[in-house]
Amino acid sequence: MSEAAKSHGTLTSLADIKEYRGVLSWVASIDHKQIGIMYILSGFFFLLVGVAEAMIMRVQLARPANHLISPETYDQLFTMHGTTMVFLMAMPLLFGFSVYLVPLMIGARDMAFPRLNAFGFWIYFFGALMLYFSFLAGGAPAAGWFSYAPLTERGYSFDHGIDYWALSLLVMGAGSVATGINLIVTVLTLRAPGMTLRRVPLFVWMVFINGILVVLAMPPLNAALVMILTDRLLNTHFFTPATGGSVLMWQNYFWMFGHPEVYILVLPAFGVISEVIPVFSRKVMYGYGLMATSTVAIAFLSFGVWIHHMFATGLGFAVLYIFAASSMLIAVPTGIKVFNWIATMWGGTIRFTTAMLFATAFLIQFTIGGLSGITFAAIPLDWQLTDSYFVVAHIHYVLLGGTLFAMVAGTYYWFPKVTGRLMSERLGKWNFWLMVIGFNGTFAVLHILGVLGMPRRVYTYPDRPYFGLMHSVSTHFAYVLVLGLLVFVFNMIWSLFKGKVAGPDPWDAWTLEWTTSSPPPPENFERVQTVRGRRPLWDLKHGAEAGAGKEGQ
Amino acid sequence: MTMTNAVMGAAGEHMHHQISVFNAQSPQAESIVHLFYVDLAISAVIFLTVTALVIAAVIRFRARPGDAEPYQDPGNPRLETLWTVIPALILLGLLILTARTMLAVNPPVGDRKANVVVMAHQWWWEYRYPSGVITANELHIPTGTNWLLSIQSADVIHDFWVPSLGAKMDAIPGHPNVLWITAQTPGTYQGTCAEYCGAEHAMMGIRVIVQSPEEFVRWEQGQLHLPVAPAGEEIERGARLFADKTCLNCHRINGTKAVAGVGPDLTHLADRDTIGSDLLANNLTNLTRWIADPQAIKPACNMPALRLTGVEAHDIAVYLESLK
């Protein structure tokens, strides 16, 4: 161990860490922090790729009857945009935050299975490359990110795009299961002495539940992917109705994965918000117990709502009633969280750092996405609005206005821990306002387009009243959103070199990761003291004063 | 690009109703709108509550220099129960309304036979009536009847959606579905395929022509008659070309050798308002252009460009426009 790493105070940037020098130290690394950073960088890289795909589509849609790109190109773009954002951007970003932070937050040296951790990242990385290789191999997949059969059968999609899609998702799915198991075991076995499950930070709670979701949700997808592959390559008949297959079986399998997947993409974001809001409000999380149990409730219910993606497929009413009820029920624990976050802010002394600004915008935007989600649970409304632009608006309010905003908040919050440097708050304000204005301007108007009968996934549309105008508004605000994202990326790069030195605990925070240097040395901690409450660092700072040791008993 | 602008504008001119979920023109659509108002009202109340609370917190509790560490409130079970139970009760109410609206919009069918079979294809619509009438891309229904549609697919999954007339329904191969529509006002209603179904999903428009029962019967009788035999030089030439240039490998024209069912039935093409699945106004100019090169108008559609001369395309179009 280097001398520098031993005296934590002197570590101020990643370059100070001898063990992280050279490409090989990263490629061959089993250090959860390096793997986490590689996950996060890959996630941000694919964010830019997915945004580029989206922008080509938005330019195409800016006016009616536009023929800038061909239908085949457009179909590949929206398929790759969706697949990229869900599997190549959001999941690795969330896994990156999870594997970087969980060991630090529970006072561990590394993940439970460091080699499995590296395996998870690299199999994702090469799976992602394989998916993009399809562009060079005759055409990217073009059946949408949920690839409904029988459009994916060889009779309708005869180039190899779907094969690449299914194979790379299968490969990445295996990696995800491995990472899920790793996160579960890490949280269960490597917590610092005294850190009972009632004392772990809420981010860790949510990542733990998320690990369970990943392990249980991926197998249906992986099974369905194998079935479509054998249909295409070995002439089996799982999804070919003419020879006894069932196309609805694909939908059942896919959404049995796909709906828990939505919560897989949202729970870590909830975790980030549950760390950022208390620290910047200077108050403990309001209703810690209910926050944790409502997360368990969401995870449990998320396996019983998948039919709400299939309300227009003509299923029996008994099934529809049950899934309408469960889909509305899952809104309750989600609503609890929103109110508990607000209650945490209430009565606090709130510091509006960029991280806190993004968390605040998250509260409102995620609420909008939740309310439009309830609209789909009211089945007759789903019968009108599903597969329209209303869905496009909904999914982006949840995953962009929700998850991505939370991850940006998390980036501003933990960037100093990861790199040793604070991100520029001045650029951060620009970043925030450009993204809030750009995001809402781009997607709010899409609700109206859906109500006016605009179907999703069309490469062009007829010149109906207001259609061109609304799409043009959406496209122009999308430029603002992209500008905001570019400011974000620039801020990260600039701050890495020129940012203010953060020190171990720049936010006066409470959890264990802030007790070590920024960036943390390879071994994380020299020693971890016995944890006696939910805010171990607060306890350290305040000694045996009031409150210490009382929480979580 | 400008050409296609004109093309798609042409179909737009014939629109009689603003397409909108709120412009309900059937009892089914009206029930859904009523539910939508309730849902929007609930959403507005919740959204305004959350937003007001967030804004109030932002203004009242912004940190000021010299603020002491605030009171550490760990939570209040009574308050938390409140915001668990109240939303649950609201949603229970919405659930009851949901079930009632479902029964109003798409009640069980029993033994009732469908009034028309809607058969979706990549990328056009076929309508088959029990009377034997087969037509394409323009669905005729009478007012005042509870009309039952059987929604089916010949290839991949499509979705039949006419917002002003009510719910949408997936057309799934191997899984026939049903949909009720009770039209009230004669007129033309537009919709579109709502499930992504391949390259030309964007150009799979739906056109529903609602007629008075008398007019509907007259239309149906007219469709059952064979079209008039070709008469006149251009028309006869067109009819010969239709056979020689392989058009009949895919299309059907009753009373002729053309009996294939791959593409749209053309028996009474001249009676239709549009061609290309609600894409172009049906007139000689547009039809000639379509026959000459459909790929220039609807790229990737299943009808190939047959390398016809301009005259040949014109003659075929003249023949088809004589089929009344």
C-beta separation of A178 from A211 below 8 A: no
C-beta separation of B227 from B322 below 8 A: yes
Burial of B58 (0-12, 13-18, 19+ CB in 10 A): middle
Find chain B residues with C-beta within 8 A of A460's C-beta. 8, 202
Q: What is the pLDDT of residues A278-309, one digit of tens each?
A: 999 999 999 999 999 999 999 999 999 999 99
Find chain B residues with C-beta within 8 A of A339's C-beta. 80, 83
Asked if residue A13 belongs to a domain, the reply is no
Predicted pLDDT of residue B16? 53
Partner-chain contact A247 B74, CB within 8 Å: no
Partner-chain contact B157 A283, CB within 8 Å: no
Partner-chain contact A325 B67, CB within 8 Å: no
Higher pLDDT, A10 or A316: A316
Asked if residue A8 belongs to a domain, the reply is no
Of A332, A347, A368, the CB nearest to B88: A332
Say how many residues make up chain A: 553
Predicted pLDDT of residue B68? 86
Q: In this complex, how many residue pairs, one in chain A and one in chain B, have their CB atoms less than 8 Å apart?
A: 292
Of A332, A360, A368, the CB nearest to B84: A332
b/e for B215-242, b at 16 or more Cβ within 10 A? Answer: ebeebbeebeeebeebeeebbebbbebb
Q: Which amino acid is at A45?
A: F
Asked if residue A10 belongs to a domain, the reply is no
Does the ipTM surpass 0.90?
Answer: yes
C-beta separation of B19 from B190 below 8 A: yes
Asked if residue A37 belongs to a domain, the reply is yes
Predicted pLDDT of residue A8? 47
* pLDDT tier for residue B231 given thresholds of 50, 70 and 90: confident
Predicted pLDDT of residue A353? 97
Q: What is the pLDDT of residues B141-164, one digit of tens each?
A: 999 999 999 999 999 999 999 999
Average pLDDT in the A398-415 region?
98
Q: Which residue of A284, A320, A383 to mutate against B (max B Cβ within 10 Å)?
A: A383
Of A64, A336, A547, the CB nearest to B84: A336
SS3 for A11-80 is CCCHHHCHHHCCHHHHHCCCCHHHHHHHHHHHHHHHHHHHHHHHHHHHHHHCCCCCCCCCHHHHHHHHHH
Predicted pLDDT of residue B66? 85
C-beta separation of B141 from B216 below 8 A: yes
The span from the CA of B301 to the CA of A523, in Å, is 61
pLDDT exceeds 80 at position A3: no
Of B57, B69, B101, the CB nearest to A380: B101
Is A380 touching B (CB cutoff 8 A)? yes
pLDDT exceeds 80 at position A549: no
Partner-chain contact A378 B83, CB within 8 Å: no
Q: Is pTM, for the whole model, over 0.90?
A: yes
Find chain B residues with C-beta within 8 A of A444's C-beta. none
pLDDT exceeds 80 at position B262: yes
Is A273 touching B (CB cutoff 8 A)? no
Average pLDDT in the B276-289 region?
96
Q: What is the pLDDT of residues A420-462, one digit of tens each?
A: 999 999 999 999 999 999 999 999 999 999 999 999 999 999 9
SS3 for A255-307 is HHHHHHHHHHHHHHHHHHHHHHHHHHHCCCCCCHHHHHHHHHHHHHHHHHCHH
* pLDDT tier for residue A551 given thresholds of 50, 70 and 90: low
For chain B, the average pLDDT equals 92
* pLDDT tier for residue A552 given thresholds of 50, 70 and 90: low
Partner-chain contact A351 B102, CB within 8 Å: no
Domain count, chain A: 1
Average pLDDT in the B8-21 region?
59
Give long-range contacts, CB 8 A cutoff, 24+ apart: A139-144.
Answer: A139/A72, A139/A76, A140/A76, A140/A79, A140/A80, A140/A164, A141/A76, A141/A79, A141/A80, A141/A83, A141/A165, A142/A72, A142/A75, A142/A76, A142/A79, A142/B199, A143/A75, A143/A79, A143/B196, A144/A78, A144/A79, A144/A82, A144/A457, A144/B196
b/e for A192-208, b at 16 or more Cβ within 10 A? Answer: bebbeeebbbbbbbbbb
Predicted pLDDT of residue B228? 83
Of A65, A351, A374, the CB nearest to B4: A65
Predicted pLDDT of residue B324? 87
Higher pLDDT, B131 or A529: B131
| Contact residues, A window 93-152, toward B, CB-based 8 Å cutoff | 142-144, 148, 150-151
Predicted pLDDT of residue A315? 94
C-beta separation of A66 from A482 below 8 A: no
Find chain A residues with C-beta within 8 A of B59's C-beta. none
Find chain B residues with C-beta within 8 A of A350's C-beta. 57-58, 61-63
* pLDDT tier for residue A160 given thresholds of 50, 70 and 90: very high
Phi then psi for B159, rounded to 5 degrees?
A: -150, 130
Average pLDDT in the A35-40 region?
98
Distance from CA of A337 to the nearest CA of B (A): 10
Predicted pLDDT of residue A542? 82
Distance from CA of B238 to the nearest CA of A (A): 31
Asked if residue A23 belongs to a domain, the reply is no
Domains of chain B: 27-61+77-105 (no CATH), 116-224 (2.60.40.420), 233-320 (2.60.40.420)
Partner-chain contact B73 A347, CB within 8 Å: yes
Distance from CA of A379 to the nearest CA of B (A): 6
Average pLDDT in the A384-400 region?
97
Q: What is the pLDDT of residues A319-357, one digit of tens each?
A: 999 999 999 999 999 999 999 999 999 999 999 999 999
Of A245, A462, A547, the CB nearest to B72: A547
Q: What is the pLDDT of residues A192-210, one digit of tens each?
A: 999 999 999 999 999 999 9
C-beta separation of B191 from B208 below 8 A: yes
Q: What is the pLDDT of residues B291-319, one digit of tens each?
A: 999 999 999 899 999 999 999 999 999 99
Q: What is the pLDDT of residues A57-106, one digit of tens each?
A: 999 999 999 989 999 999 999 999 999 999 999 999 999 999 999 999 99
C-beta separation of B35 from A383 below 8 A: no
Half-sphere exposure of B235 (CA within 13 A, CB side): 11
Average pLDDT in the A236-243 region?
94
| Contact residues, A window 179-198, toward B, CB-based 8 Å cutoff | none
Predicted pLDDT of residue B3? 39
Of chain A, the percentage scoring pLDDT greater than 70 comes to 96
Domain span at residue A292 reads 32-542
Partner-chain contact A313 B4, CB within 8 Å: no
For chain A, the average pLDDT equals 94
User: A59: domain CATH number?
Assistant: 1.20.210.10
Say how many residues make up chain B: 324
Q: Which amino acid is at A123?
A: I
pLDDT exceeds 50 at position A163: yes
Q: What is the pLDDT of residues B80-112, one digit of tens each?
A: 999 999 999 999 999 999 999 999 999 989 889
Predicted pLDDT of residue A52? 98
Q: Which amino acid is at A407?
A: M
Which candidate, A551, A549, A511, A542, places its Cα nearest to that of A528?
Answer: A511
Asked if residue A552 belongs to a domain, the reply is no
* pLDDT tier for residue B5 given thresholds of 50, 70 and 90: very low
pLDDT exceeds 60 at position A537: yes
**Cis (ω within 30 of 0) for the bond into A520?**
no
Asked if residue A85 belongs to a domain, the reply is yes
Average pLDDT in the A368-392 region?
97
Q: Are strands B116-121 and B187-193 parallel, antiparallel or unpaired?
A: unpaired
Q: What is the pLDDT of residues B192-230, one digit of tens each?
A: 999 999 999 999 999 999 999 999 999 999 999 998 888
C-beta separation of A168 from A63 below 8 A: no
Predicted pLDDT of residue B69? 87
SS3 for A381-435 is HHHHHCCEHHHHHHHHHHHHHHHHHHHHHHHHHHHHHHHCECCCHHHHHHHHHHH
Find chain A residues with C-beta within 8 A of B26's C-beta. none
Asked if residue A218 belongs to a domain, the reply is yes
**Cis (ω within 30 of 0) for the bond into B161?**
no
Chain A: residue nearest B50 by CA? A364
Predicted pLDDT of residue A539? 86
